[in-house]
Structure 1
Amino acid sequence: MSGFRTLDDVAVAGLRVLVRVDLNVPIQDGEAADLIRIERVAPTILELSDKGARVILLAHLGRPKGERNPEMSLKPVARAVQKVVGRPVAFASDCVGDAAEKEAAKLGNGDILLLENTRFHAGEEKNDPKLAKEMAALGDLFVNDAFSCSHRAHVSTEGLSKHLEAVAGRCMQAELEALERALSNPERPAAALVGGAKVSTKLDVLDNLTGKVDMLIIGGAMANTFLLAMGKQIGKSLAEPDLVATAQRIMTTAKSNGCEIVLPVDAVVASALEADVETETVDIDSMPEDRMILDVGRRSIAEVIARLGECRTLMWNGPMGAFEVPPFDKATVEIARAAAELTKKGTLLSVAGGGDTGRALNHAGVTDGFSYVSTAGGAFLEWIEGKTLPGVAALQD
């Protein structure tokens, strides 16, 4: 996608600006327990406030299934937003109707208001035109700053764009620009590292990437299915034997596209996925029948790091091994740190996101070392699958 509109394209002073943000944060003891998503959208909120907009925030929390649920109220999140932005944040007990209209009417230029959970209304997820019209009446401009929610055509992500001018907030803009640089028009050679447990959850990802990058590095348990497809023995390792033919097709497609698939040449194996279990590193052609592959080995780590040194762009999705259980985090940590070092040197653009990726990079201590790390899950995966995201399409010129 290209040609999306941003805050640079609009004057906002005095306008009531509806801003869709992702505030779906964990709540513990009545308080927001993680501020990362709030911190990501704070620049948009503050910029709009500084420019004299009347900022009205739209968000969801959890899955209330169209019913009012006090445990999923955004009221405690309003306090967290206020803490992060350092300015008063009012709260309305609904996102439409009298309660929302009353609080919105109180706003002066620069003021900030958070409306109650949009998913308390069944029409939100159904993209109900009536709800969209009612919600749009609260604003003069729509700013979508929630890439992570934009793979769904909901009222607060897509429906509002049918009634109001729609532009991208700064977080959305940063996400789209990073993804376009890494995938739509990458500097080459370009690589993608895809890990995780199952091929079945990333079929579309793998299919799309083979036509986008020069090198596809496959790790995690999904690599085991590809090893099976090559006739390798994998012992008791997790795999999907019924997808062997699919893995073979992906390898054939990759070859025809000029995309090299890089698989492990050695592996760290054990009898069980447990901390402090006895391990050994074996050649991939010497896999013991009674062991399982839980991480890639030293030679594989060295090869991947060397390959990344030849690349200019890296798209990372998923861990290389069972990183949650040491010592099976070694490959993920070492490769991630190498990618961060190359990024620091300015030789590699590194973009990561989806699923366990953020947690894996946090574990490696390199989240700030990558060019961009997305907090989106499903939306990130659908983007690299090549799908159109409704909330993003609504922002196109």
Structure 2
Amino acid sequence: MTFKTLDDMAFNGKTALVRVDINVPVEKGQVTDATRIERILPTITHITQAGGKVALLAHFGRPKGQPVPEMSLGQLVPALEAALGQPVAFAENCIGGPAKKAVAAMTAGDVVLLENTRFHEGEEKNDKLFSASLAALGDIYVNDAFSAAHRAHSSTEGLAHLLPCCAGRLMEAELKALQAALGTPERPVAAVVGGAKVSTKLDLLSNLITKVDHLIIGGGMANTFLVAQGVEIGTSLAERDMAETAREIMAKAAEGGCSLHLPVDIVVAREFAAGAASETLPVDACPADAMILDAGPQTVAAITEIFGQCKTLVWNGPLGAFEIAPFDTATVAAAQAAARLTQEGALVSVAGGGDTVAALNKAGVGDQFSYISTAGGAFLEWMEGKTLPGVAALEQE
């Protein structure tokens, strides 16, 4: 994977069009979580300190090619100014007169936020004319939005073919972490895949069994695999119609030398509620009127042992119904084991996906993995082995 970074570009006197993902949660006009804004600061700071001017390109919500006032990026200006510690100008359009005027008014070190790119149909269509209108505003294109890199839009892919381009610091860190996890990893490699449905992660599982040495399956997905093995799972969540597919995945894993691991003991309850009465049983002893809501301590011990044997770990999805105690126990214990090995320098750990980030934060280890991706869809598609247009465009040279 070869791509240019900020260090390869000369920004002095230049205007950088920087694609960022600041699609942050907003309530009553106030940003409630500025994490995505904070993560783009190193890129902006590098460019401004190098004497460059920064014009930020971003989307917000799904306006479907039409201006939608409540999806205006203007409401994010105060949060951007607070994070950067400097004024941020705002242009009421990302192309045309307002954008040109705002960019022309900038001097070295200035930052301007251009209006929502998705207010134009041309953005999501990757329209050449729209891409050219954006390109006319700047000298260098910087993509710092890995989380939007699975979209072939004008601001994520089209621009890279029209201007000298490079990856921003966040994009650079993400790509290096993913390369270390599945591109050229230190072996053995383990992957944890959890969540509710096998059907939503077929591509992921099919790719991982060709890339990893150990595949650990948890959550509702594990129940489907148990059904495929003829194990009775009571009233547990499962996709019984996917049993044959699960058997095919197990067979392919065995053929390819990938060890597939399922729970050996389970935590069951009659209801999914906080503090519900629960019991731990062998995996094949689920009562007919109970549901499996977590993996048991023997399973956690086995998973921890696998982590100890491995050099690299990729994690996507919880091991149980982690949202409600006590069914978060396995996820928390396994996450803490992975974090401990990471901190000791014995394991490179990369995790991603919405539920995954929430689960690791709940375990108190959100900052103790080697890298945690907040990218969601792009992270999953990369794990599935798919080409991400926004990344491929940066690799064009």
2:20–2:58 Cα contact (<8 Å) kept: yes
1:129 aligns with 2:128: yes
**Amino acid aligned to 1:357:** T
**Amino acid aligned to 1:385:** E
Q: Secondary structure at the match of 1:356?
A: helix
Q: Secondary structure at the match of 1:255?
A: helix
1:239-318 equivalence runs, <5 A: 239-318=238-317
Distance of 2:124 and 2:108 partners within structure 1: 31
- Shift of residue 133 of structure 1? 0.5
**Amino acid aligned to 2:331:** T
Distance of 1:86 and 1:125 partners within structure 2: 32
- Shift of residue 335 of structure 1? 0.7
Distance of 2:191 and 2:371 partners within structure 1: 14
Distance of 1:220 and 1:89 partners within structure 2: 44
Matched with 1:118 is: 117
Distance of 1:281 and 1:325 partners within structure 2: 16
Distance of 1:313 and 1:107 partners within structure 2: 45
Matched with 1:383 is: 382
- Shift of residue 329 of structure 1? 0.5
Matched with 1:360 is: 359
* TM-score for both structures, normalised by structure 2: 0.99
1:139-154 equivalence runs, <5 A: 139-154=138-153
- Shift of residue 281 of structure 1? 0.6
- Shift of residue 40 of structure 1? 1.0
2:353–2:376 Cα contact (<8 Å) kept: yes
Distance of 2:74 and 2:28 partners within structure 1: 13
Distance of 2:48 and 2:271 partners within structure 1: 54
Matched with 1:222 is: 221
Q: Secondary structure at the match of 2:293?
A: strand
Matched with 1:97 is: 96
Matched with 2:154 is: 155
Number of residue pairs matched by the alignment: 396
Distance of 1:272 and 1:155 partners within structure 2: 48
Matched with 2:394 is: 395
Distance of 2:4 and 2:353 partners within structure 1: 25
1:156-235 equivalence runs, <5 A: 156-235=155-234
- Shift of residue 82 of structure 1? 1.3
Distance of 1:140 and 1:103 partners within structure 2: 15
Q: Secondary structure at the match of 1:250?
A: helix
- Shift of residue 76 of structure 1? 1.9
2:354–2:374 Cα contact (<8 Å) kept: no
Distance of 1:306 and 1:351 partners within structure 2: 18
Percentage of identical aligned residues: 59
**Per-residue displacement from partner, 1:186-207 (whole Å, max 9, x unpaired)?**
1011100000000011000000
Matched with 1:58 is: 57
* TM-score for both structures, normalised by structure 1: 0.99
* Consecutive aligned runs of 4 or more in structure 1 exceeding 4 Å deviation: none
- Shift of residue 355 of structure 1? 3.1
- Shift of residue 301 of structure 1? 0.8
Distance of 1:376 and 1:142 partners within structure 2: 20
Unaligned runs of 5+ in 2: none
**Amino acid aligned to 1:140:** D
Matched with 1:342 is: 341
- Shift of residue 39 of structure 1? 1.0
**Amino acid aligned to 2:207:** N
Distance of 1:243 and 1:149 partners within structure 2: 30
Q: Secondary structure at the match of 2:126?
A: coil
Distance of 1:126 and 1:94 partners within structure 2: 18
